[in-house]
Amino acid sequence: MSTPFSTRLLSALTAARCVVAFTGAGMSAESGVPTFRGTDGIWSKFKAEELASMSAFMKNPALVWEWYAERKRVISGIHPNAGHLALVRMQGLFPDFAIVTQNIDNLHQRAGSTMVYELHGNIERNYCIKCGAPASNDEVLAQHGVPTCARCGGTIRPDVVWFGEMLPEDDWRHSERAMSRADVCLSIGTSGIVYPAASLPLLAKQQGAFLAEVNPERTPLSDVADEVITGPSGVILPALFDQVAASRSHSLQY
Ligand code: OAD
């Protein structure tokens, strides 16, 4: 049977102990979540600096909340796709498997992945900028306009990383560690241009991992990857899972 995967990639995955998937917006494209860049991307229609920064929030919290409330509604109505589900099955193949995601849509967790590090936060969470208390999506969406904290009356914000903000310390540290011990890193559906997140697949490769990219288009990472698999993750990942599961069970028997 013909396969889009090289023998080198299949051998690396068959022998791997630790595999890390690094995911971006393209991972959720087949679920109906628009990506950020490209002709139909979110940043082609909206200005990032007017919606996704603390200064934008302080200047016009109502506008920022209008946008996030709409995104929350859209994301709550969509479902994980075949790519997310393939990564859930993949976690059962390796003793050490983690997902490092730039996505805030919670779809990896909703699909059933258990080891997920979130570099840019999660749109299903919120917190008070005054006292830090968490607030549920139901709680914030039930309020009209800018939601306020039930505990102290402070303004609530979505728990997502905005431009100019630090990445969550724990998730970052765990991600760096996972990348450092990875035998294989799969970079999936990301343009690989937003730092510091984009440095992580490069770190994995520097530390000896086999780096494979899954994307319908080339990215800056394509030139350094050991393998570039061209296509949508919802098609590529289930096929990759099938091949790797078969070769790992075969190699265990002999
Ligand atoms: P981008 O929108 O920059 O890139 C999406 C990538 O997904 C592109 O390389 C597409 O070619 C690819 N793609 C599209 N459809 C795909 C499919 N079906 N399967 C696989 N790949 C597909 O999104 P990110 O790289 O995630 O940050 O962007 C990184 C960060 O920039 C985001 O986390 C966000 C954004 O500004 C913050 O909000 C802090």
Select from 251, 248, 253 the least CA-distant residue to 89. 248
Q: How confident is the model at residue 35 (pLDDT cuts 50, 70, 90)?
A: confident
Average pLDDT over residues 229-243: 97
Task: Convert the pLDDT of each residue in 8-26 to its tens digit.
Answer: 999 999 999 999 999 999 9
Together in a domain, 27 and 91: yes
Computed over every residue of the chain, the mean pLDDT equals 94
- CATH code for the domain of 174: 3.40.50.1220
Range of the domain at 69: 42-77+127-160
Residue 221 pLDDT greater than 70, yes or no: yes
34 C-alpha to center of ligand 1: Å? 9
- Find the range with the poorest average confidence among 33-37, 197-201, 209-213: 33-37
- Measured from the Cα of 191, ligand 1's closest atom is 9
Q: How confident is the model at residue 36 (pLDDT cuts 50, 70, 90)?
A: confident
- CATH code for the domain of 71: 3.30.1600.10
198, part of any domain: yes
Q: What distance in Å separates the CA atoms of residue 99 and residue 108, rounded to the nearest whole number?
A: 8
- Measured from the Cα of 25, ligand 1's closest atom is 26
Q: How confident is the model at residue 33 (pLDDT cuts 50, 70, 90)?
A: confident
48 C-alpha to center of ligand 1: Å? 14
180, part of any domain: yes
Query: What tokens does 217 get?
Result: 């288009």
Together in a domain, 87 and 104: yes
Q: pTM of this prediction?
A: 0.95
Q: What distance in Å separates the CA atoms of residue 228 and residue 243, rounded to the nearest whole number?
A: 17
Q: How confident is the model at residue 1 (pLDDT cuts 50, 70, 90)?
A: very low
Q: List all residues whose CB is within 6 A of at least one atom of ligand 1.
A: 24-26, 29-30, 35-37, 41, 52, 102, 120, 161, 189-191, 194, 214-217, 219, 232-234
Decide which of 188 and 254 is more confident. 188
Q: What angle separates helix 233-253 from helix 82-91, to the nearest 10 degrees? A: 20
pLDDT at 47: 78
196, part of any domain: yes
Task: Convert the pLDDT of each residue in 111-142 to its tens digit.
Answer: 999 999 999 999 999 999 999 999 999 999 99
Together in a domain, 182 and 230: yes
The number of domains in the chain is 2
